[in-house]
Amino acid sequence: MAQPPGIHARRGALKLLDAVLRRGETIEQAQGAALKDIRKPADKALALALANEALRWMVDLDTLIDSATKKPLPDDAKPRMVLRLMLAGWLRLETPPHAVIATGLPLLSGGPRRLAHGVFSTLSRREVALPEVPTLPAEVAARWDENAALIAQGLALPPEVDLAVKDIAATEQWQARLGGVSLMPGHVRIPRGTAIDKLEGYAEGAWWVQDLAAQLPAHLLGSGEGKHALDLCAAPGGKTLALARNGWKVTALDISKRRLGLLKENLKRTGLKASTVRADALNWEPKHQFDAILLDAPCTATGTCRRHPDVLHRIGSRQIEEMAELQAGLIERASGWLKPGATLVYAVCSLEREEGEEQAAQIDLDPSPITDSDLPDGLAPTPEGWLRTHPGMIFEEGGLDGFFVARFTR
């Protein structure tokens, strides 16, 4: 019997959900195996969209599912997984209920199939709806405390696409050519949904993709004027490109061969220059000290929850503690590689205090406070002179990722 159109995408989405929720993998880690049998790019995109929307709205989807069952299904039960995808397809991607049933139920058989059919039919007859803002998992909301409601507001929609422009003086030109908006010099924001490699300026390396928040750490180091900068944990390279664009002589270090390969591809496409080093920063010894070091440290990446909602369900206290220990070790190493008078910028794309504020408070260097003039409109430094962003900030302009950034001098 012929398979209904779209069934392959649903199977792939189910594998992605299983990898995230049962094995703790990221969507990025899981998609190679989960989507390897899907040939059509459109089906791959649909599988990713279904899985991400199910993860983004999972608490609310589960509430709906539980309202239509006599007793709650186990969290990892296959019928619950399939129903999450079916409801995400209907309520978020606006797939008609008959098509949701035709493509969702073949993922189950026997009693679970009848159960899923009954639950979905009940909910569709009720014409249920999701809230305007996703509900965060309880433990996540507790960690993010007073910012939780604003962060959740920023998660309601996948983010638009931010670009960093190679020639800062050409920002307005690229804003006009790409039909975007600019929130600071060197930045252009465009609507999501367009193939990046088909956009004007991609082939000639006129810009690269980089969230607005991720553009700020390199921006805070200012103009290099040929001085030496070290970009620690540099791949896939957005901050290396920004430092090189700003006149720094950059050494870009990363432990991952694959990610360094992406960095080299980006350097080649943009025509910017940097020396690349594959090494573990905890063991590596530089040949000289640096005028500036940008340490965008490995972290839980909870600040990227707009585009990677899997972090809402994978990250807990154990992962946060492990990352904080690694970050402290990297800070200690990097601090010893600074010339007298040199600058260290410490950054993480995490919303956790243990990785941001608590790390900065332990750094044994002189503070170099971030000021209002360093930042785009709508953002402001903390009383300590640090920067903390989250997805609910500059919401009317489309938001930004969660980052913590602090600046110091030796």
Active-site positions? Answer: 349
Residue 138 Rama label (left phi>0; alpha psi -120 to 50; beta): alpha
Burial of 179 (0-12, 13-18, 19+ CB in 10 A): exposed
Residue 134 per-residue DSSP state: P
CA distances from 298 to 186, 222, 232, 377, 404 (A): 25, 23, 10, 28, 12
**Rounded Cα distance, 209 and 202, in Å:** 10
Tell me: is residue 45 an annotated ligand-binding position. Answer: no
Tell me: is residue 71 an annotated ligand-binding position. Answer: no
Tell me: is residue 237 an annotated ligand-binding position. Answer: yes
Which residues are CB-contacts of 344 (< 8 A; sequence separation ≥ 6)?
292, 293, 295, 334, 335, 338, 363, 365, 407, 408, 409, 410
**Rounded Cα distance, 300 and 321, in Å:** 10
CA distances from 262 to 105, 187, 265, 368, 377 (A): 39, 21, 5, 32, 32
Tell me: is residue 310 an annotated ligand-binding position. Answer: no
Tell me: is residue 378 an annotated ligand-binding position. Answer: no
Amino acid code (one letter) for 82:
V
**Rounded Cα distance, 136 and 314, in Å:** 13
Tell me: is residue 236 an annotated ligand-binding position. Answer: yes
**Rounded Cα distance, 231 and 234, in Å:** 5
The string over 356-378, giving b where at least 16 C-beta atoms fall within 10 Å of a residue's C-beta and e elsewhere, is beebbeebebeebebeeebbbee
Structure tokens at 231: 């970009």
Residues flagged as binding site for S-adenosyl-L-methionine: 233-239, 254, 280, 296
